[in-house]
Amino acid sequence: MMQKESQPVTADPNLSFEWVHISYQESAKFVETYGFSGNQGAINLEGVRIRPEGVDSKTLLIFMHPASTLQLLPVPREAAKLGAHVLCAGSRYARNDTAGILENVLIDLGAYIRHAKHVWGYEKIVLVGWSGGGSLALFYQSQAEHPTITHTPAGDPVDIVGAGLIPADAIIFQAAHISRAQLLLDIIDPSVRDELNPDDRDPELDIYDPANPNQPPYSADFISRYRAAQLTRMQKITATVKDTLAKLKTRSTGELERGFITHRTLADPRFLDASLDPNDRKIGWCYLGNPETVNTGPVGLARFATLRSWLSQWSVEDSNGDGVRCAAQISVPLLAIENTADDAVPQPHARRIFDAAASQDKTFKIMEGATHYYAGQPDHLRTVTKLTMSWLAERALI
pLDDT of 166 reads 98
Q: What is the pLDDT of residue 100?
A: 95
Provide the pLDDT for residue 28. 67
d(CA 182, CA 374): 23
CATH 3.60.130.10 for domain 15-179+319-394, yes or no, is: no
For residue 12, the model assigns a pLDDT of 73
The pTM score is: 0.94
Nearest to 138 by CA among 101, 176, 164: 176
Phi, psi angles (nearest 5°) of residue 366: -120, 130
- Enumerate the β-bridge partners of residue 338: 366
Is the CB of residue 356 less than 8 Å from the CB of residue 327? yes
pLDDT (0 to 100) of residue 296: 94
Q: How many whole angstroms separate alpha carbon 140 and alpha carbon 107? A: 9
Domains of the chain, by residue range, sit at 15-179+319-394, 182-314
Query: Running DSSP on this structure, what letter comes out for residue 161?
Result: T
Q: Is the dihedral of CA 153, 155, 156, 160 positive or negative?
A: positive
Give me the count of residues in the chain. 398
Nearest-angstrom CA–CA distance, 272 and 209: 12
DSSP H or E stretch at residue 339: strand 334-339
Per-residue pLDDT of the chain (398 residues; tens, 9 = 90+): 444 444 443 457 799 999 999 999 886 666 676 655 556 678 999 999 999 999 999 999 999 999 989 998 899 999 999 999 999 999 999 989 999 999 999 999 999 999 999 999 999 999 999 999 999 999 999 999 999 999 999 999 999 999 999 999 999 999 999 999 999 999 999 999 999 999 999 999 999 999 999 999 999 999 999 999 999 999 999 999 999 999 999 998 999 999 999 999 999 999 999 999 999 999 999 999 999 999 999 988 999 999 999 999 999 999 999 999 999 999 999 999 999 999 999 999 999 999 999 999 999 999 999 999 998 999 999 999 999 999 999 999 99
| Cis, peptide link before residue 333, omega less than 30° from 0 | no
